[in-house]
A and B are shown apart, each in its own frame.
Chain A
Amino acid sequence: MGKCRRVKRLLSAYLDQETSKSDTDFIKTHLDGCLSCRRELDQFYQIKQLVLNKERRSISADRLILDLEEETVGLSLPQEVPVGSLASRFMPVPAVLAILLFVFVFVLRQDPVEYSLEDRILSGEPVTTETAAKVVLGINS
């Protein structure tokens, strides 16, 4: 039963000759002794034939080309993209990065602010008793 399940799952690919050599051998051997799987294969075969024989349709080349010419009338003829053009397209990227770096380093960068002792105490920074006393007494050092 387990073999049938495996074979039935492979029958579609088997029909398309897309199974591996070992699977093909396995299926062939199994089909020799299994009527149910042979029936399933036959049904798949009929369905495949039905789709294979489906009517192929055709459209007028002249009409299509004419329509395409109308649509592409304003477009310039595409040129092959040379490999180097990609490099030149992305060339500005490092230049822009360099400018941004310059702006950041020399313009936006500011000197660190020096806070007074009072500010440091108010911000909760741990200070020694001596320093605190100096602040209270108004001694600058």
Chain B
Amino acid sequence: MKEEMNQDNLCIGRFLAGDSRAFSVLVTKHKDRVFNVVYSLIGRDRESQDIVQEVFLKVYRNLRFFKKRCLFSTWLYRITVNTTYDFLRKRKNLISSEKIMDSCRAKRPDPKEVLLEKEQKEILDRALLRIPLKFKTALVLKDIEGLSYKQISEVLGCRIGTVESKIYRARQLLKKELLNNREEG
């Protein structure tokens, strides 16, 4: 982690000194983790890519204000989560899971495709979409990105105890969703 921090700080220093290529290095290094967080939260490919771009634009504009009091990745996750929340708020689109479920069903009347729909990956994706954002964000940062509770608390700006509760709640809801799905299937 220390090595990662040094690499990032080195890139930031070079970028602020006028080397624009250093920013590309940062983007290349962190793009997938940003994308995976966004995609896990909103579940839409094209819009996730737009948000990733928006995130890195914000980083570009605000990197000079980054005080290195935390890891660059923590700061980046914070921007990612906030940008995703803003996006969803603006679109008044707080994942209407029912609609997504309906559209998934409507698209696949074919029995073969119904079977495909039952694949574990899709079931998990859809179950995740049903979980409220505030719980899901903590779970995604933990299990998809592998952050510690402390790091998550820094990203979300809340106490470690709150992170613990959110992850617990997310897993409970996920369990419920998966069990429901099994019963429906």
> Which A positions have Cβ atoms within 8 angstroms of B?
9, 11-13, 16, 18, 43-44, 47-48, 50-52, 54-59, 61, 64-65, 67-68, 71-72, 75, 77-81
Contacts of A48 in B (CB 8 A): 143, 171
**Chain A binder among B24-32, B72-80, B86-94, B95-103:** B24-32
Query: A61 to nearest B CB, angstroms?
Result: 4
Q: Is the CB of A52 within 8 A of B143?
A: yes
Q: Is the CB of B27 within 8 A of A16?
A: no
Residue of A nearest to B18 (CB): A77
Q: Is the CB of A61 within 8 A of B28?
A: yes
Known pairs A65-B24, A65-B28, A68-B60 / 20 extra A-B pairs, C-beta < 8 Å: A13-B168, A16-B149, A18-B149, A44-B171, A47-B175, A50-B120, A51-B139, A51-B143, A54-B125, A54-B144, A56-B32, A61-B24, A64-B31, A65-B27, A68-B57, A75-B61, A78-B61, A79-B16, A80-B64, A81-B64
Q: Is the CB of A81 within 8 A of B65?
A: yes
Query: B10 to nearest A CB, angstroms?
Result: 14
Q: List 13 A-B contacts (CB under 8 A).
A: A9-B168, A11-B168, A13-B164, A16-B149, A50-B120, A51-B128, A56-B36, A57-B39, A59-B32, A65-B27, A68-B57, A72-B57, A80-B64
Given contacts A12-B168, A47-B178, A48-B143, contact A72 B31 (CB under 8 A): no
> Which B positions have Cβ atoms within 8 angstroms of A?
15-18, 20, 23-24, 27-28, 31-32, 35-36, 39-40, 49, 52-53, 56-57, 60-65, 120-121, 124-125, 128, 139, 142-144, 148-149, 164, 167-168, 171, 174-175, 178
CB < 8 Å: which of A13, A54, A58 contacts B167? A13
CB < 8 Å: which of B18, B20, B53, B139 contacts A71? B53
Contacts of B28 in A (CB 8 A): 61, 65
Contacts of B175 in A (CB 8 A): 43-44, 47
Question: Which residue, B23, B121, B168, B175, has most C-beta atoms of chain A within 10 A?
Answer: B168
Contacts of B53 in A (CB 8 A): 64, 67-68, 71
Q: Is the CB of B167 within 8 A of A12?
A: yes
Residue of A nearest to B146 (CB): A52
Given contacts A47-B178, A57-B39, contact A78 B168 (CB under 8 A): no
Q: Is the CB of A58 within 8 A of B32?
A: yes
A65-B31 Cα distance, complex, nearest whole Å: 10
Q: Is the CB of B120 within 8 A of A47?
A: no
